Amino acid sequence: MGCLLNKSRRSDYKVSKEDSFIKRKQYSWDKRQIIDLKDYTVENVENEEVWRMPGTIQGQQFVIQNCKNTRMFIFDHLNSVNIDECTNCQIVLGAVKGSVFLRNCTNCVCLVACGQFRTRDCRKMNIFLSCATQPIIESSTNIHFGCYQLHYSELEDHFQKAGLSCFNNNWSDIHDFTPMRGETNWCLLPDTIHIEDCVPLPSCDEPRKVNMSLSCDKSVIPFTWGLHKRLTGESCLVAFFSDGQQVQRAREFISSIRQEHPECLLLLSKEVQMQQANAERAFKTSAYNRVLERGQVIGLHYNGPSCLQKCEKVAKKIATSTGLPGLVYVSTNPKTAQQQVNDFFNYGDIQMTS
């Protein structure tokens, strides 16, 4: 009887028929990683440079709070980020799967790529943003927005791990929860302000190992001018259908247009899974229905003088060089092109919010 009681106390082991001890089965909840919150927190830092290298966060939640005059570089993917009570800081974030929430921050510059973005009680902020949904500000003033531009060696992989598309960026479509009559709590940064002017590169050697760049030519996120850019020419819808190389071809197209026809401006981009009826409405043809099941469609909204002709020329060049004709669509009629743009991007917005 005493032996049976003793055996029951040996909870980690059981006795076999041969009276040898065998370690009991381990379950997933026994193997959970022990999280030290200090590893995922930057707090009470002043007049320093802080960084986190790839692989140090790996999708965990992250907190930044009570920091002053500090530069932070977070080169990893994260689940969500809270930034509280920071003053005169420069904060660079990789890909954030969920929300980035700034509260009670003043005179900071932030580079943020996330699923949701929100500020509350913030003042004098420059936000270079990539956001999958509509950004929100609340009880905040002097908030200036620009398009997120960043490259480091693992950022594209981090976007995939965070479930973010490089083409779904609503950085300029701001919703103000607390508007005040006669005042504007936010605005888009003017064309004369460049991200390099606001965010110096790291001064330490360690972060330089990831080849960080703020150049538009290297950025994982395409530079878009946003919803409020004044239209000065033809609108044009350019769409890339899934074939395993559509992302590379879309980037090659964007780069070629920027170099050869800088007067044609990329206003918006969107990546969405389309149904046949919606595709026929946007493209005015059923010819592309057979390829919709392959995957998502990348759509680009361009505007500029003779934009349709210039986009068609570049698209043909890329189709010839890649040997993949027929998987790119370009608007052909300037009278219906704007409606095509509206149909495609309105459908994309509905898909993102459903």
Amino acid letter, residue 197: D
Q: How far is CA 152 from CA 72, 208, 216, in A?
A: 15, 9, 13
Burial-class residue 219 by CB neighbours within 10 Å (0-12, 13-18, 19+): buried
DSSP annotation string for 233-285:
SEEEEEEE--SS-HHHHHHHHHHHHHHH-TTSEEEEEEEE---HHHHHHHHSS
CA-based nearest residue to 51, from 5, 103, 97, 91: 91
d(CA 229, CA 255): 20
Residues β-bridged to residue 90 = 71, 109
Confidence of residue 12 (pLDDT cuts 50, 70, 90): very low
Share of the chain above pLDDT 70, in %: 88
- 8 A C-beta contact, residue 54 and residue 72: no
Say if residue 103's pLDDT is above 90: yes
CA-wise closest residue to 75 among 5, 154, 163: 154
Question: Distance (Å, rounded) from C-alpha 46 to C-alpha 38?
Answer: 17
Under the banding of pLDDT at 50, 70 and 90, the label for residue 11 is very low
Residues 212, 75 contacting (CB under 8 angstroms): yes
| Most confident segment among 109-123, 212-226, 331-345 | 109-123
| Residue owning tokens 């904060």 | 91
Q: How far apart are the first and last CA of the chain?
A: 63
Residues 6 or more apart whose Cβ sits within 8 Å of residue 53: 75, 76, 206, 207, 209, 210
Instruction: Note the pLDDT tens digit of each residue in 17-67.
Output: 545 445 555 655 555 566 677 889 999 999 999 999 999 999 999 999 999
DSSP 291-310: GGGGS-EEEEEEEETTHHHH
Cα distance between residue 81 and residue 140, in whole Å: 19
Nearest to 201 by CA among 214, 219, 183, 188: 214
Angstrom distance (rounded) from CA 267 to CA 270: 11
On the CB side of 298, CA atoms within 13 Å amount to 22
Q: What is the pTM for the complete model shown? A: 0.87
CA distance 341 to 282: 7
Lowest mean pLDDT among 103-117, 135-149, 186-200: 186-200
Q: Which domains does the chain have, with CATH numbers?
A: 39-208 (2.160.20.70), 234-353 (3.30.70.141)
The confidence score (pLDDT) of residue 225 equals 94
Kind plus residue range of the DSSP H or E element containing 49? strand 49-52
> What's the Cα-to-Cα distance from 311 to each of 213, 250, 308, rounded to whole Å?
28, 12, 5
The model's confidence at residue 263, banded by pLDDT at 50, 70 and 90, is very high
